């Protein structure tokens, strides 16, 4: 059995999910969103993300992690800041010696819906079909589940 931690990184909202995989069976375990306070310095927000992701690793003991690759925004500063949040999450997983796998947003969408430019509603609907126990409350949480499912469905090839 594999236990996958899926991460949708962000400075304001970092979505996370845990799913178990055994053969072709996928089981939803847990998911949520890490919400760093917005009124603290960047360094403290990054530490907040790091600590929470590291706590998830210790609590759920994932065997693998899948995380979304950053797409380049029109605003370079935004892309750079998102990269910081992503690095904090990856480092939190790496210090626990958990392998990290990266997926581009269009590949996640295509793996779940068959359409590389699917919208958030299409992703959500597929998640409820594939993992009926999952009830994500935010797009970040939904994306984290989708990233974990993508890894579960493509990593064996």
140 is catalytic: yes
Q: Which of 20, 64, 68, 143 is catalytic?
A: 68
68 is catalytic: yes
**Strand order of the sheet with strand 25-34?**
25-34, 14-22, 2-8, 64-68, 100-103
Tokens of 4: 């996958």
Q: Which of 8, 20, 141, 143 is catalytic?
A: 8
Q: Which of 96, 102, 119, 140 is catalytic?
A: 140
104 is catalytic: no
The catalytic residue positions are 8, 68, 140
């Amino acid at each position: 059995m594999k236990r996958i931690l899926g991460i949708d990184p962000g400075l304001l909202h970092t979505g996370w999910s845990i799913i178990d995989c055994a053969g072709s069976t996928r089981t939803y375990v847990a998911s949520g969103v890490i919400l760093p306070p917005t009124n603290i310095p960047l360094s403290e927000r990054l530490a907040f993300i790091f600590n929470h992701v590291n706590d998830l690793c210790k609590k759920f003991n994932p065997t693998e992690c899948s995380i979304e690759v950053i797409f380049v925004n029109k605003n370079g500063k935004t892309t750079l800041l998102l990269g910081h949040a992503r690095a904090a999450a990856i480092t939190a997983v790496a210090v626990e010696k958990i392998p990290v796998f990266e997926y581009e947003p269009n590949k996640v969408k295509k793996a779940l819906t068959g359409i590389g430019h699917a919208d958030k509603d299409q992703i959500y609907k597929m998640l409820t079909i594939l993992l009926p126990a999952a009830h994500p409350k935010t797009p970040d949480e939904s994306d984290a589940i989708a990233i974990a499912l993508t890894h579960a469905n493509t990593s064996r090839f």
